[in-house]
Amino acid sequence: MEFCKGELVICNAGREKDRLMCVTEFDGKYVYVCDGKERLLNNPKRKNPKHIVKTNKLISQDMFLTDRALRKALSKEG
């Protein structure tokens, strides 16, 4: 399964279960996600791709500049 930066996903395992998050990086083995509140852009959560579900929604790259902008983008989508 392939992920791209800016893609919105829903976590289905762990403490973040049922939470909308944004992919910040994908290295082939793990997906790094953040939400701008619990998980900030400078410290994303490493997740196994089996534990997240794609939503087929993307946010623009300028929403990755600050945590505040990311939270605002996620609240509009969620």
pLDDT digits 0-9 by tens, 7-59: 999 999 888 899 999 999 998 899 999 998 998 999 999 999 999 999 989 99
| pTM score of the predicted model | 0.88
Number of separate domains in the chain: 1
> Is residue 38 assigned to a domain?
yes
Structural domain that includes position 48: 7-77
Over pLDDT 70: what percentage of the chain? 99
pLDDT of residue 8: 93
Long-range (24+ apart) CB contacts under 8 A made by 49-54 are 49/1, 49/3, 50/13, 51/11, 51/12, 51/13, 51/14, 52/9, 52/10, 52/11, 52/12, 52/21, 53/9, 53/10, 53/11, 53/12, 54/1, 54/3, 54/7, 54/9
> Is residue 2 assigned to a domain?
no
pLDDT of residue 12: 93
> Is residue 33 assigned to a domain?
yes
